[in-house]
């Protein structure tokens, strides 16, 4: 009687067993738990940044509206005086 070979090889190309050891499973699980915790903290930070950015966008809109309202009330004849720097700040070459 001829022996029937299995379709699943007992060794992988790396020369290790196909079945993982308990220690390898433990290491992989711990690595995934650490990554999960790190991604959760990154997500929380991104949410905080997004909230801060959206709040700033709202205040920018209010500031723009306020400045546009001030612009319409500014007197067009207002002139800026020329500023002359003090002698101490002048540079002689």
Q: In this predicted structure, what is the pLDDT of residue 6? A: 60
CA distance 32 to 12: 23
* pLDDT greater at residue 3 or residue 70: 70
DSSP codes of every residue in 10-56? SB-TTSSBSSPPHHHHHHHHHHHHHHHHHHHHHHHHHHHHHHHHHHH
- Residue 20 tokens read as 């993982």
Instruction: Decide: 18 and 8 in contact? Cβ < 8 Å.
Output: yes
* pLDDT greater at residue 47 or residue 80: 47
Q: For residue range 17-72, what is the model confidence (pLDDT) as tens digits?
A: 567 788 888 999 999 999 999 999 999 999 999 999 999 998 998 888 888 888 77
Q: In this predicted structure, what is the pLDDT of residue 13? A: 55
């Amino acid at each position: 009687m001829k022996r029937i070979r299995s379709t699943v090889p007992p060794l992988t190309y790396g020369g290790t067993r196909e079945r993982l050891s308990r220690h390898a499973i433990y290491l992989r699980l711990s690595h995934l738990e650490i990554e999960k915790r790190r991604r959760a903290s990154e997500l929380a930070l991104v949410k905080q940044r997004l909230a801060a950015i959206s709040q700033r966008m709202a205040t920018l809109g209010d500031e723009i509206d306020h400045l546009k309202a001030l612009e319409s009330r500014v007197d067009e004849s207002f002139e800026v005086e020329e500023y002359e720097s003090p002698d101490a700040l002048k540079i002689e070459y």
